[in-house]
Structure 1
Amino acid sequence: MAETYIFGHKNPDTDSITSSLVMANLEHELGNEDAVSCRLGNLNKETQYVLDYFNIDAPKLIDSIEDGSDVILVDHNSPSESVENLENLNILKVVDHHKISLETSYPLFYRAEPVGCSETILYKLYNENNVEISKEIASLMLSAIISDTLLLKSPTTTDDDIKAVEELAKIADVDYESYGLDMLKAGTDLSDFSIDEILSLDAKQVDLKNVKSIINQVNTASIPDVLEMKDELEAGINKIIEDENLDIFILLITDIINSNSQVIVLGKDADLVEKAYGVELKDNTALLKGVVSRKKQVIPILTENA
């Protein structure tokens, strides 16, 4: 039989990578032996830390998929974040925790819930299908939920996420608070990245009504350290704005220790951030106190004010 490709979004994060691995395992347990875990980009440092820590191989890196192939989408459903020929593929299933952007001409299995992480939904699917969660799978699930919820501190965190973390930590035999902090810190090291790489690490094209935008988020344990690169970052952002014909580019620099974000904002609609948050951009930057979630605290607010 032909392979079923399982993958998350471009510029993959820990949830995207681990969900591909976990969903492939679930498919195998449910009888789909042709399910293959894949990824649409390189691993970030946090995800590499997770896989190295638990000695787990990364999903297969793919550049393209042949038209007509069977696929399963995890941690995304927007065509702009997926493979280029998604409309020519046969989407069997979607497991996601983002807003619904996908339209198809045929029915499919679609599981989307307003939880902090796709792995929380997968945790439920394992239990609903009476599939045992192994130590390895629990470790992957746990890592992703910690990542997406910033160790359960993000406003996207739900009771379901908390319950899943507590149960998965027992199976994985991990002190999730200690491990989680080390994992998050591992993902904040930007020393080996070029400016272009930093500006594409977790960049998402976002529909803010008629405002064409990219919102990129990087985590750090020290905002001042990242701001030392501000001139270089702004030069890179301006090039992206010109190349992509953007109205606004927002770089969200999120402090995982103090739960705040500094933004660098450029573009002709930069005042949208001032309007939305009641702040003044000084030298293209401002501190957004308590803002850590792009999905819940940035995109909806900017869309409402656009």
Structure 2
Amino acid sequence: MTTLIFGHQNPDTDAITSAMTFAEYQRQLGNTDVEAVALGEPNDETKFALNYFKHALPRVITSAANETDTVMLVDHNEAQQSVADIKDVTVTAVVDHHRIANFETAAPLFYRAEPIGSTNSVLYKMYQEAGIAITPQIAGLMISGIVSDTLLLKSPTTTATERDILPKLAKIAGIDLQEFGLAMLKAGTNLAAKSDLDIVEGDAKSFNMGGLTVRIGQVNTVDLNEIYARQADLTATMQQEATKHQYDLFLLIATNILDSDSTGFAVGTGLDKLEAAFGTKFDADHRLALPGVVSRKKQVVPPLQKAFEA
């Protein structure tokens, strides 16, 4: 029976590519009956990367227990971010770079998590430790995940690990890192082709904070005015989703990848705690200025968690 390997719902580039690189790692170790799949359609940024490195798009699944007993998780561990029937399958391995929350298993498992820039960074280390050669295509997939999660080394989540390994991977892949990285990031900012729902939910994750369900989405752009022009429709869509799925708070972070500044939009309860978390107030246009904030994992979730659990 094939073991399915996948990242979180609403997958970003690191979630998709780390599933692929971990699947290849398993094959190289002799575990050939594995398949990298996705819990949602790849976004434009990911499609650009996979096309660039000539890798097929992954199969998208909505459930796992109907076809396997065992799964491996990458780039996440929290149950609400995983496949809907995660409790009906056995998790045999996790490779991640996020906090550990709302996660437990009935049996021992392989678990590797490090506080570094991307899951592909962790996997690079695992390849090196196991003496597994990295092919140009795998190098390209790793680069894509790392560039996406670190915003081409501009995010505060970037560590010395990414600064060290990206040039090495670029040499293996035979690419100009800056040229490819900027082209890939820009490919994900074509907002005109996206619906309001695609923008607010395309990279959204749910978190349990102080007994409340907080939904946090993030969208990258090269011009925040594109977001401002659609603000009314975007917040209306956020309210519809919050009502439909019973989110207590829905926060959307719009990030300008060129200057590394963001603006927040929110609907729901706890807006005062949101303001307290960032030490600022919503302006007259119901926007929250977040200068220098680009990382949901490091700059958004921790202060929000602290504010809601105070």
Q: Give the TM interval when normalised to the shorter protein.
A: over 0.9
2:178 is the alignment partner of 1:177: yes
8 Å contact kept, 1:18–1:144: yes
Report the Cα distance in structure 1 between the residues aligned to 2:236 and 2:220, rounded to whole angstroms. 20
The one-letter code of the counterpart of 1:58 is: L
- Percent of aligned pairs with the same residue? 43
The one-letter code of the counterpart of 1:75 is: D
Report the Cα distance in structure 2 between the residues aligned to 1:247 and 1:89, rounded to whole angstroms. 29
| Range that drifts further, 219-228 or 131-140 | 219-228
8 Å contact kept, 1:116–1:157: yes
Report the Cα distance in structure 2 between the residues aligned to 1:295 and 1:131, rounded to whole angstroms. 30
CA RMSD of aligned residues (A): 1.2
Q: 1:92 to 1:245 in 2, by over 3 A?
A: closer
Structure 1 equivalent of residue 297 of structure 2:
295
1:72-99 deviation digits (Å, cap 9, x = unpaired): 1111111111112212212111100011
Report the Cα distance in structure 1 between the residues aligned to 2:238 and 2:57, rounded to whole angstroms. 30
Q: Secondary structure at the match of 2:201?
A: coil
Please show how residues 223-302 of structure 1 align to structure 2 within 5 Å.
Answer: 223-282=224-283, 283-302=285-304
Structure 1 equivalent of residue 75 of structure 2:
75
Report the Cα distance in structure 2 between the residues aligned to 1:63 and 1:212, rounded to whole angstroms. 21
Q: Secondary structure at the match of 1:199?
A: helix
The one-letter code of the counterpart of 2:78 is: S
8 Å contact kept, 1:20–1:59: no
Residue 199 (structure 1) shift: 1.4
2:41 is the alignment partner of 1:42: yes
| Equivalenced residues, count | 305
The one-letter code of the counterpart of 1:159 is: A
Report the Cα distance in structure 2 between the residues aligned to 1:226 and 1:233, rounded to whole angstroms. 8
Report the Cα distance in structure 2 between the residues aligned to 1:305 and 1:66, rounded to whole angstroms. 37
8 Å contact kept, 1:208–1:299: no
Report the Cα distance in structure 1 between the residues aligned to 2:243 and 2:60, rounded to whole angstroms. 30
8 Å contact kept, 2:62–2:84: no
The one-letter code of the counterpart of 2:62 is: D
Q: Secondary structure at the match of 1:38?
A: strand
8 Å contact kept, 1:50–1:140: yes
Structure 2 equivalent of residue 89 of structure 1:
89
Structure 1 equivalent of residue 162 of structure 2:
161
Q: Secondary structure at the match of 2:270?
A: coil
Report the Cα distance in structure 1 between the residues aligned to 2:247 and 2:39, rounded to whole angstroms. 24
Q: Secondary structure at the match of 1:264?
A: strand
Structure 1 equivalent of residue 137 of structure 2:
136
**Runs (5+) with no aligned partner, structure 1:** none
Report the Cα distance in structure 2 between the residues aligned to 1:66 and 1:276, rounded to whole angstroms. 39
8 Å contact kept, 1:29–1:131: yes
Q: Give every structure 1 segment of 4 or more consecutive aligned residues whose post-TM-superposition deviation is greater than 6 Å.
A: none
Report the Cα distance in structure 1 between the residues aligned to 2:207 and 2:87, rounded to whole angstroms. 20
Structure 1 equivalent of residue 5 of structure 2:
6
**Runs (5+) with no aligned partner, structure 2:** none
| Range that drifts further, 112-121 or 270-279 | 270-279
1:41-100 deviation digits (Å, cap 9, x = unpaired): 101000000011111112222222226611111111111111122122121111000111
8 Å contact kept, 2:94–2:111: yes
Residue 213 (structure 1) shift: 1.2
2:55 is the alignment partner of 1:53: no
Report the Cα distance in structure 1 between the residues aligned to 2:85 and 2:250, rounded to whole angstroms. 26
Report the Cα distance in structure 2 between the residues aligned to 1:249 and 1:65, rounded to whole angstroms. 28
Report the Cα distance in structure 2 between the residues aligned to 1:82 and 1:242, rounded to whole angstroms. 21
Structure 2 equivalent of residue 151 of structure 1:
152
Report the Cα distance in structure 2 between the residues aligned to 1:147 and 1:140, rounded to whole angstroms. 11
Structure 2 equivalent of residue 24 of structure 1:
23
Residue 246 (structure 1) shift: 2.7
Q: Secondary structure at the match of 2:282?
A: coil
TM-score of the aligned structures, taking structure 2 as reference length: 0.96
1:146-186 deviation digits (Å, cap 9, x = unpaired): 00000101111111111121210110111111110111011
Q: Secondary structure at the match of 1:202?
A: coil
8 Å contact kept, 1:26–1:126: yes
The one-letter code of the counterpart of 2:89 is: L
